[in-house]
């Protein structure tokens, strides 16, 4: 597991480390600069022309220290000062004085003659960027971009990218490598910032782990090796030991989603999966997945909400230890009754997905039945329908959108996008780092739902199952992409690779 931070949180960590622990900020700055120089030396030689573009804040201070180190090592380095020297921070002023004394080529931006550049070191704005880049700074950035540096190394975060949301604040540099300090920033994890950051190197520069205790909301991601968080299946067990997953899915002629969710739940380790669907789907589901139990309902009875239907559904809910509600249910009027009955009868974790969420969007009163064991898994379009916001507005701050919805009902919200967010009911926020664009295909969401159900069936609680499920799903997608390339993935292939990831368990 890796912690992630916003720029504001990192500033709290800075303050704690400097003021409470007592590590001087110039010591941190020196280590930050050394870490960047170490990466730069992998990319250039002594003939390379290096520009270090420095702002007025401490990001610029890092830049001047980097320019000094490169100069002392014999690299052809020019530090371009973008702001007025007299308005620099205390640390940056000190760096300027040191740089002058050792003969660093320091040029104020208006006096700089642009030519060819082999490497741009971007130290204009770091975590202090707090508004749109306009006026003279925008002009400088335009000019630097137009001069076409062959490579760009960003210090802490590419200038122009917001450290909390990943949004472009008017204009941004595109880095090949970003060297960031302490912990990765959300801004380089989330699009479009992720695309502008290149390879992100996290440099350890002396922040003690305890400084994270100053942070209130926790952001994290998983990484290879975290499959060992999936509970082991003990040897002394039977199929009932590993949970019973009820998949309420599939209207007439829509058996595919039910199949994919059920298969994924089994592949993740669930002991028993029962599909509750319409009679027309029985034969096909039985032949596709004979391991699943099939139970059926009559849509007319569901539509009329008869006592017999309620009793039947009540029994299914009683049987289940986990419920998947929604894949391929369609938009017919009885779906509302189905969703309402499950929400009122079940006291187990429920993953509400796809058409189940559509029913909630069409009948917002149903949210009155939400309890803390609900996990919703909307994609952006579904989230827009649930909240009444536009997709564009949600995209501007995915984390805020997911967190707001989760907190409104005290539930877990998995907001699916190129970087999926898990706003967990325990207040931690998961930011996914696995997966790829080949997974943007029909059925991939049904597989995710099934994986989360499988993890719940194995005994994980909702927050852990949601986060780990998203990560496993993406890892399976990465394995499929390695084998089949970026175009040909089928959602069913994701289920065929779940075992590959689970075998990464090191225990």
Ligand X SMILES: NC(=O)C1=CN([C@@H]2O[C@H](COP(=O)(O)OP(=O)(O)OC[C@H]3O[C@@H](n4cnc5c(N)ncnc54)[C@H](OP(=O)(O)O)[C@@H]3O)[C@@H](O)[C@H]2O)[C@@H](O)CC1
Q: Interaction with K ion in 65-94: which residues (CB under 5 A)? A: none
Q: Does 25 bind ligand X (CB under 6 A)?
A: yes
303 labeled binding residue? no
261 binds, among K ion, ligand X, none (CB under 5 to 8 A by kind): none
Bridge partners (DSSP) listed for residue 273: 245
Question: SS3 string of 298-366?
Answer: CHHHHHHCCHHHHHHHHHHHHHCCEEEECCCCCCCCHHHHHHHHHHHHCCCCEEECHHHHHHHHHCHHH
Nearest to residue 430, comparing CAs of 269, 231, 226?
226
Count of residues near ligand X by CB under 6 A = 28
129 labeled binding residue? yes
Give CA–CA dist 279/183, Å, rounded.
Answer: 53
Q: Does 62 bind K ion (CB under 5 A)?
A: no
C-alpha to C-alpha distances, 369 to 184, 372, 465, 466, nearest whole angstrom: 38, 10, 21, 20
Supply the minimum distance, in Å, between the C-beta of residue 55 and K ion: 8
156 labeled binding residue? yes
Instruction: Specify the residue, 126 or 327, whose C-beta has the smaller distance to K ion.
Output: 126
- Provide the 3-class DSSP secondary structure of residue 71: helix
Can you tell me which of 62, 226, 341, 382 binds ligand X, judged by CB under 6 A?
Answer: 62
Nearest to residue 452, comparing CAs of 243, 286, 189, 250?
243
x/- track of binding to ligand X for residues 484-503 (CB under 6 A): --------------------
Instruction: Specify the residue, 137 or 430, whose C-beta has the smaller distance to ligand X.
Output: 137
Give CA–CA dist 270/272, Å, rounded.
Answer: 6
Can you tell me which of 14, 122, 226, 355 binds K ion, judged by CB under 5 A?
Answer: 122
Nearest to residue 7, comparing CAs of 56, 52, 59?
59
464 binds, among ligand X, K ion, none (CB under 5 to 8 A by kind): none
Q: Kindly indicate which of the ranges 8-16, 146-154, 303-311, 458-466 contains the residues binding K ion, using the contact rule CB under 5 A.
A: 146-154
Q: Does 155 bind K ion (CB under 5 A)?
A: yes
Q: Does 40 bind ligand X (CB under 6 A)?
A: no
Q: Interaction with ligand X in 96-125: which residues (CB under 6 A)? A: 125
Bridge partners (DSSP) listed for residue 246: 274, 323
Residue with tokens 């699943």: 292
Interacting residues toward ligand X by CB under 6 A: 14, 18, 25, 28-29, 32, 55-60, 62, 89, 125-133, 137, 155-156, 169, 181
Binding site listing: 58-62, 122, 126-132, 137, 156, 159, 257, 328, 379, 416-420, 445-446
Residues that bind K ion (CB under 5 A): 122, 126, 154-155, 159
């Amino acid at each position: 597991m890796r912690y992630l931070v916003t720029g504001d949180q990192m500033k709290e960590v800075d303050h704690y480390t400097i003021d409470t622990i007592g590590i001087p900020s110039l010591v941190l700055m020196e280590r930050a600069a050394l870490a960047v120089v170490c990466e730069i030396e992998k990319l250039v030689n002594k003939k390379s022309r290096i520009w270090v573009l420095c702002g007025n804040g401490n990001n610029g201070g890092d830049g001047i220290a980097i320019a000094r180190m490169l100069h002392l090592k014999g690299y052809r380095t020019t530090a371009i000062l973008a702001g007025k020297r007299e308005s620099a921070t205390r640390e940056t002023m000190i760096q300027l004085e040191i740089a002058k004394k050792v003969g660093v080529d320091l040029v104020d931006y208006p006096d700089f003659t642009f030519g060819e550049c082999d490497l741009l070191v971007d130290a204009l704005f770091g975590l202090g960027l707090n508004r749109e880049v306009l006026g003279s700074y925008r002009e400088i950035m335009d000019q630097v971009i137009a001069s076409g540096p062959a490579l760009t190394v960003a210090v802490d975060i590419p200038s122009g990218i917001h450290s909390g949301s990943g949004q472009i604040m008017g204009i941004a540099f595109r880095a090949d490598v970003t060297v960031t300090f302490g912990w990765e920033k959300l801004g380089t994890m989330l699009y479009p910032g992720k695309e502008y950051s290149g390879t992100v190197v996290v440099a350890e520069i002396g922040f003690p782990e305890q400084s994270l205790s100053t942070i209130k909301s926790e952001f994290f991601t998983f990484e290879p090796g975290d499959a060992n968080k999936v509970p082991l299946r003990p040897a002394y067990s039977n199929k009932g030991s590993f949970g019973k997953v009820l998949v309420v899915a599939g209207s007439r002629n829509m058996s595919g989603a039910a199949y994919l969710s059920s298969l994924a739940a089994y592949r993740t380790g669930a002991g028993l999966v029962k599909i509750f669907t319409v009679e027309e789907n029985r034969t096909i589901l039985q032949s596709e997945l004979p391991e699943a139990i099939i139970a059926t309902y009559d849509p007319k009875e569901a539509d009329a909400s008869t006592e017999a239907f309620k009793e039947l559904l009540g029994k299914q809910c009683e049987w289940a230890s986990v419920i998947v509600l929604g894949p391929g249910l369609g938009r017919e009027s009885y779906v509302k009754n189905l969703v309402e009955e499950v929400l009122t009868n079940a006291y187990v974790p429920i993953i509400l997905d796809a058409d189940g969420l559509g029913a909630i969007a069409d009948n917002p009163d149903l949210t009155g039945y939400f309890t803390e064991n609900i996990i919703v898994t909307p994609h952006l379009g579904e989230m827009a329908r649930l909240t009444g916001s536009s997709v564009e507005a949600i995209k501007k701050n995915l984390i805020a959108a997911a967190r707001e919805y989760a907190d409104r009902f005290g539930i877990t919200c998995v907001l699916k996008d190129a970087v999926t967010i898990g706003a967990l009911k325990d207040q931690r926020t998961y930011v996914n780092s696995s997966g790829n664009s080949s997974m943007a295909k029909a059925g991939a969401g049904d597989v995710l739902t099934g994986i989360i159900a499988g993890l719940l069936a194995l005994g994980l609680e909702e927050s852990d199952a949601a986060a780990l499920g998203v990560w496993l799903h993406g890892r399976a997608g990465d394995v499929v992409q390695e084998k089949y390339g970026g175009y040909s993935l089928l959602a069913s292939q994701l289920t065929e690779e779940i075992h590959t990831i689970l075998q990464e368990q090191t225990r």
